[in-house]
Chains A and B, each alone.
Chain A
Amino acid sequence: MAAHPKPLHVEPANYLQGGGVIGWLTTVDHKRIAVLYGVSALLFLGLGGLEAMAIRIQLWAPGEHFISARAYNELFTMHGTSMLFLAVMPLLLGTFANFMLPLQIGARDVAFPRINALSFWVSLMGAILLHLGWFFGGLPDAGWFGYANLTERMYSPGLPLDFWTLGLIVAGASTILATLNFLVTLITMRAPGMSYMRMPMFCWAIMITSILVLLAFPPLTVGLIFLLMDRFFGTHFYIVSAGATPILWQHLFWLFGHPEVYIIALPAFGVISEVVPTFSRKPLFGYPMMAYSICLIAFLSYGVWGHHMFATGMGPVADAAFAVTSMLIAIPTGIKIFSWIATVWGGSLRMTTSFYFALGMILEFTFGGLSGIMHASAPIDLQQTDSYFVVAHFHYVLFGGAVFAILAGIFYWWPKVTGKMLSERLGKLQFWLTIIGFNGTFFPMHFLGMWGMPRRIYTYGAGLGWTHLNQLETVCAMILGLAFLVMYINMVWSIANGEKAPPDPWDGRSLEWSVASPPPVYNFARIPEVRGRDAWWIVKYGRTGSRGLAAYMSGKPPQPSAADLAPPAEPIHMPAPSIFPLILSIGVLVASLGVIIGEWRIVILGAVTLVVAAIAMGFEYPTFGQESHDPMAAPSSGGTDVRKVGIWSFIGSECLFFASLIATYIIYKGRNIGGPGAEILEIPLTSFSTFALLMSSLAMVLALAAIQRNDRTWMRVWLGTTIGLGLVFLGVEAYEFTHFYHEGLSLQTDLFGQSFFTLVGFHGAHVSIGVLWLATLWFASFGEKFDGSRSLSVELAGLYWHFVDIVWVIIFTLVYLMQQVKGA
Chain B
Amino acid sequence: MSRRAFSLGAMSILAAFLSGCASNRELPMTTLAPKSDLGQWIYHLFIEVTLWDALILAIVLIAFILAVFIFSTRVGEAAPPKSAASDLKLEIAWTVGPALVILMISVPTVRTVFRSQPRVAPADSLHIRVIAHQWWWEFQYPDSKVITANELHIPVNRPIRLDLVSSDVIHSFWVPQLGGKRDVVPGQINELTFEANVPGMYPGQCAEFCGDSHANMRFRVMVETPEQFAEWTKLQQAVPVAVDQITDASVADGAKVFADSPCTSCHRIDGVSKGYIAPDLTHFGSRTTMAGGIMANTPDNVAKWITDPQALKPGALMPPLGLRGQQLNDLVAYLESLK
A335: B residues at CB distance < 8 A: 91, 94-95
Tell whether A645 is near chain B: CB-to-CB under 8 Å.
no
Determine the distance from Cα of A286 to Cα of B90 in the docked complex, in whole angstroms: 10
Cβ–Cβ contact A282 & B83, under 8 A: yes
Interface size class of chain A, counting residues whose CB lies under 8 Å from the partner chain: 35 or more
Chain A residue numbers with a CB within 8 Å of B211 are 73, 150, 155-156
CB neighbors of A among B71-111 (8 A): 71-81, 83-87, 90-91, 94-95, 97-99, 101-102, 105-106, 109-110
- Identity of the chain A residue whose Cβ is nearest the Cβ of B166 in the assembled complex: A240
Least Cβ distance of B112 to chain A in Å?
4
- A353, chain B: closest CB distance, angstroms: 14
Residue A385 CB within 8 A of the other chain: yes
Contact at A386–B27, with CB atoms within 8 Å?
A: no
B91 and A348 contacting across the interface, CB-CB below 8 Å? no
User: Assuming the A-B contacts A69-B315, A282-B81, are A385 and B181 also in contact, with contact meaning beta carbons closer than 8 angstroms in the complex?
Assistant: yes
CA distance A244 to B206 in the complex (A): 23
B218 at the interface (CB under 8 A from A): yes
Cβ-defined partner of B210 (8 Å) among A150, A331, A351 = A150
Q: Are A362 and B64 in contact (CB under 8 A)?
A: yes
CB-defined contacts of B87 to chain A, threshold 8 Å: 285-286, 342
**Does A363 touch B at the CB level, under 8 Å?**
yes
Q: How far is the CB of B104 from chain A (nearest CB, A)?
A: 10
Q: How large is the interface on B (under 10, 10 to 19, 20 to 34, 35 or more residues)?
A: 35 or more
Instruction: Give Cα distance in the complex from A552 to B79, angstroms.
Output: 9
Contacts of A310-330 to chain B: CB distance below 8 A: 311-313, 315-316, 319-320, 323-324, 327-328, 330
In the complex, identify which listed stretch (B28-36, B244-252, B270-278) lies at the interface while the others stay far away: B28-36
Are A341's CB and B63's CB within 8 A? Answer: yes
The answer to whether B172 and A69 touch across the interface, beta carbons within 8 angstroms, is no
- Is residue A54 within 8 Å, beta carbon to beta carbon, of the partner chain? no
Does chain B have a CB within 8 A of A211? no
CA distance A380 to B190 in the complex (A): 18
A402 located at the interface, meaning its Cβ lies under 8 Å from any Cβ of chain B in the complex: no
Q: B180 and A331: CB pair below 8 A?
A: no
Q: Determine the distance from Cα of A143 to Cα of B114 in the docked complex, in whole angstroms.
A: 31
Let me know if B85 and A287 touch, CB within 8 A: yes
Contact across chains for B64 and A147 when beta carbons are under 8 A apart: no
Hey, which chain B residues are within 8 Å of A502, CB to CB? none
Could you tell me if B50 and A454 are in contact, using CB atoms closer than 8 angstroms?
no
CB closest chain-A residue, reference B78 = A348
Within 8 A of A (CB), among B51-85: 52-53, 56-57, 60-61, 63-64, 66-68, 71-81, 83-85
Bits for B162-199, please: 1 = Cβ < 8 Å to A, else 0: 00000011101010110111110111101100000000
Q: Please determine whether A346 and B46 come into contact, CB atoms closer than 8 angstroms.
A: no
Q: Which residues of B contact A347 (CB under 8 A)?
A: 67, 72-73, 81
* Binary CB contact string for chain A from 368 to 387 against chain B (1 if under 8 A, 0 otherwise): 00110110111111111111
A285 contact set on B, CB distance < 8 A: 84-87
| Stretch from A199-207, A263-271, A458-466, A716-724 contacting the other chain | A458-466
Q: Is B232 an interface residue (CB 8 A)?
A: no
In the complex, A545 has a CB within 8 A of chain B? yes
- A289 within 8 A of partner (CB): yes
Q: Does B160 contact A (CB under 8 A)?
A: no
- Pick the residue among A68, A243, A379, A555 that contacts B45 (CB under 8 A): A379
Q: Does B41 contact A (CB under 8 A)?
A: yes
In the bound complex, CA of A380 to CA of B170 (Å)? 21
The reply to whether B49 and A316 form a contact with Cβ atoms under 8 Å apart is: no
Check A456–B209 contact: CB distance below 8 A. yes
Which of B39, B52, B56 has the most chain A CB atoms closer than 10 A to its own CB?
B56
Inter-subunit contact A324/B114 (CB<8 Å):
no
A327, B218: Cα distance in complex, Å: 33
CB within 8 A of A312: which of B78, B179, B183, B214? B183
> Complex Cα distance A334/B72, Å?
22
In A506-528, the 8 Å CB interface with B consists of: none
Contact A452 B49, CB 8 Å, known A327-B102, A351-B74: no
B61 neighbours in A (Cβ, 8 Å): 363
In the assembled complex, the Cα of A371 lies from the Cα of B46 at a distance in Å of 10
A311 contacts B180, C-beta separation under 8 Å: yes
Given contacts A349-B73, A451-B22, contact A240 B186 (CB under 8 A): yes
Query: Does chain A have a CB within 8 A of B236?
Result: no
Residues of chain A in range 521-551 having any CB-CB distance to chain B below 8 Å: 545, 549
| B188 neighbours in A (Cβ, 8 Å) | 245, 247, 313
Residues of B within 8 A of A328 (CB): 102
Residues of the B chain whose Cβ atoms lie less than 8 Å from the Cβ of A500 = none
Contact B50 A374 (CB under 8 A): yes
Given A316-B114, A351-B74: A379 and B169 within 8 A (CB)? no
Taking the complex as formed, is B20 at the interface, i.e. its CB lies under 8 A from any CB of chain A? Answer: no
Q: Is A781 an interface residue (CB 8 A)?
A: no
User: Is the CB of B117 closer than 8 A to any CB of chain A?
Assistant: yes
B42 on interface, CB distance cutoff 8 Å: yes
B76 to chain A, nearest CB (A): 6
Q: Tell whether A443 is near chain B: CB-to-CB under 8 Å.
A: no
Q: A285-B84, A345-B66, A454-B207 are in contact. Are A69 and B215 (CB under 8 A)?
A: yes
Known pairs A341-B60, A456-B214 / 5 extra A-B pairs, C-beta < 8 Å: A149-B186, A342-B87, A373-B105, A383-B39, A452-B27
Mark B residues whose CB is within 8 Å of A: 18, 21-22, 26-32, 39, 41-42, 45-46, 49-50, 52-53, 56-57, 60-61, 63-64, 66-68, 71-81, 83-87, 90-91, 94-95, 97-99, 101-102, 105-106, 109-110, 112-114, 116-117, 134, 168-170, 172, 174, 176-177, 179-183, 185-188, 190-191, 203, 205-216, 218, 294, 314-315
A-B contact pairs, 21 of them (CB 8 A): A69-B314, A69-B315, A149-B170, A149-B186, A240-B186, A283-B83, A285-B87, A286-B87, A286-B91, A311-B180, A312-B190, A319-B113, A344-B64, A348-B76, A348-B80, A374-B50, A383-B176, A451-B176, A452-B27, A452-B28, A452-B176
Interface residues of A (CB under 8 A from B): 68-70, 73, 142-143, 147, 149-150, 155-156, 240, 243-247, 280-289, 311-313, 315-316, 319-320, 323-324, 327-328, 330-331, 334-335, 337-339, 341-342, 344-351, 359, 362-363, 366-367, 370-371, 373-374, 376-387, 447, 450-461, 463-465, 545, 549, 552-553, 555
